[in-house]
Copies of this chain bind each other. A is one copy, B any other.
């Protein structure tokens, strides 16, 4: 129920995809990533999707459901809940103007949603929390 303690060894394609995502703080679609990697021999969407699947599994990348796009995990190393956000879920604030994404964790939100689930007998597998709006810079 948590990410590997040590960083997993990435395959060549996984590294390439992760590096592309890690070099920008804006989310990217799989096809945009594909285009960025044509020079490195990428030809087909599946090369990207397969790498993304693994990176998601490793917890190194997040999928933004409301955007059909992906970002490198950017949560602070020493989050309140210790090693990564293995046990808690994460929320994203997405600026619709500049595309900037803030990743954060709110323990209390997590708790409230877990409580609701427990009361209803619902077994959560994955929670998505995304706030679309304007970042402080763009709202000014």
Contacts and interface: CB of A to CB of B under 8 A. Distances in A.
Contact of A91 (B102, B113, B133): B113
Interface in A94-109: 95-96, 102, 104, 106, 108-109
Identical chains bound together, number: 2
B123 A133 contact: yes
A15 interface: no
Interface stretch (A41-49, A51-59, A114-122): A114-122
Q: How large is the interface on A (under 10, 10 to 19, 20 to 34, 35 or more residues)?
A: 20 to 34
A116 B104 contact: yes
A133 B139 contact: no
Contact of A93 (B93, B122, B132): B122
B113 A129 contact: yes
Contacts of A130: 65, 127-128
Given A106-B112, A106-B113, A125-B133, 6 more contacts: A109-B109, A113-B131, A121-B139, A124-B133, A125-B132, A127-B132
